Each structure stands twice: as structure tokens, then as C-alpha cells.
């Protein structure tokens, strides 16, 4: 009886520790990138929630002199990636802005500013 109880307790402890590891959350992450290929801007971003069930919604906006040049949106579960191209004018400064939400909660805007050369 004592050995059986010991085995049962050991199995329960293993199950509890495995379940806790499976429920571990990850950190929310994001990345935004603006590259140029001549007169083409390559705009990309990734957003990840903390849990695989998180709803992610994102808008990527390219701005020049306060004017929106182009904008793209995407939604998905846990992780989304946007990658788009847009014609630009060499010599001008552009800002790529990423705005996104995780489960409806807005996250801080991320942006990158670069001169098209």
C-alpha cells in the first residue's frame, strides 16, 4: 500500500509540473522594419501575443511629411506578419508605424524612420 501511494503521489506531482509548464505564457513581442530597394519601400512587421489563443490585430502605416502614403491591416491568432511594398521618392524621409492590439488591448506604437536613398 505504501509503495502504491508513493507512486500515485509521484504521478500527480509529475502531472502538475507538466501542466504548469504547458500553461507558461510568453512575452508579447513586435518588430517593424523599413528597407528601400531604389524607389520601392519594403515595409514589414511581426506581432506575437503572449498565448497561442491571443487575437492579434495590426495596422502598418507608411507616412511622409505627415501624409499617409500607404496603410495595410491584418488580424490573426497568436502571431501575424505583414510585408508589403510601396513606391516612394528617393531623398525623402519616411516613417513606418506599427499599431496593434492583443485581445483588444492597444500596445505602444512602434515606428522606424529612414531616408530613402
Residue 50 lies in a domain: yes
Model pLDDT, residue 6:
54
Nearest to 78 by CA among 46, 48, 108, 44: 48
Task: Look up cell 492597444; give the residue.
Answer: 106
CA 27, 82, 46: angle at the middle one, nearest 5?
15
Residue 35 lies in a domain: yes
Residue 17 lies in a domain: no
The CA–CA distances, whole Å, from 41 to 35, 46, 56, 107, 111 equal 6, 17, 24, 25, 15
Model pLDDT, residue 18:
44
Model pLDDT, residue 51:
95
Residue 73 lies in a domain: yes
Residue 14 lies in a domain: no
Residues 33 and 112 sit within 8 Å (Cβ to Cβ): yes
pLDDT in tens, the chain (117 residues): 566 655 556 555 555 444 444 445 677 789 999 999 999 999 999 999 999 999 999 999 999 999 999 999 999 999 999 999 999 999 999 999 999 999 999 999 999 999 999
Residue 12 lies in a domain: no
Residue 47 lies in a domain: yes
For the chain, how many structural domains are there in total?
1
Amino acid at each position: 500500500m505504501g509503495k502504491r501511494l508513493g507512486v500515485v503521489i509521484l504521478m500527480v506531482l509529475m502531472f502538475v509540473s507538466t501542466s504548469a509548464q504547458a500553461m507558461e505564457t510568453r512575452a508579447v513581442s513586435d518588430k517593424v522594419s523599413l528597407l528601400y530597394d531604389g524607389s520601392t519601400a519594403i515595409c514589414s512587421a511581426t506581432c506575437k501575443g503572449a498565448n497561442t489563443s491571443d487575437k492579434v490585430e495590426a495596422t502598418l502605416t507608411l507616412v511622409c511629411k505627415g501624409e499617409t502614403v500607404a496603410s495595410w491591416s491584418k488580424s490573426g491568432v497568436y502571431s501575424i506578419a505583414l510585408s508589403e511594398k510601396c513606391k516612394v521618392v528617393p531623398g525623402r524621409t519616411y516613417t513606418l508605424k506599427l499599431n496593434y492590439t492583443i485581445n483588444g488591448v492597444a500596445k505602444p506604437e512602434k515606428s522606424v524612420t529612414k531616408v530613402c536613398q
